[in-house]
Amino acid sequence: MNQSALLRPDWTPATIALMILGFMVFWPLGLAMLAYIIFGDRLRGFKRDVNQATDGFFASCRGPHGRHRPHFSTGNVAFDDWRKAELDRMEEERRKLDEMREEFDSYLRELRRAKDQEEFDRFMRDRRNAKRDDNGPVAEYQTP
């Protein structure tokens, strides 16, 4: 079992044990673990958004004369053309990988939504079945 599966932001035995241990050792650690359990899924999306914004900012700063696209020529036209073609190809590959990552993130969100919907439907079905089995409140015992 890998570490990401063991310490996912969910109410797993490992995260609960770490939270309790954190409260016993130093209460802010337990509080931090509780926050991770509750808000951990949002943290992943927040990190992705910050990374995309940062990448966009530095890409605009880099522009055509940044580190990856030097504004000077080596003097060898064939090499400069090859370098430009390779950099364009790598940029296209990066764009494809980013699209694939976004599609996979969307798939995971839909998978989680479907799982949540299934659990909710099962809860409602069990609740309905429990109400049908229940004949109402228990009548008080009356003495004759």
Per-residue pLDDT, 14: 83
Per-residue pLDDT, 13: 85
Q: Using CA atoms, how far apart are residues 54 and 72, in angstroms rounded to an integer?
A: 26
Range scoring the smallest mean pLDDT among 5-9, 36-40, 113-117: 5-9
Q: Using CA atoms, how far apart are residues 67 and 70, in angstroms rounded to an integer?
A: 6
- What is this structure's pTM? 0.37
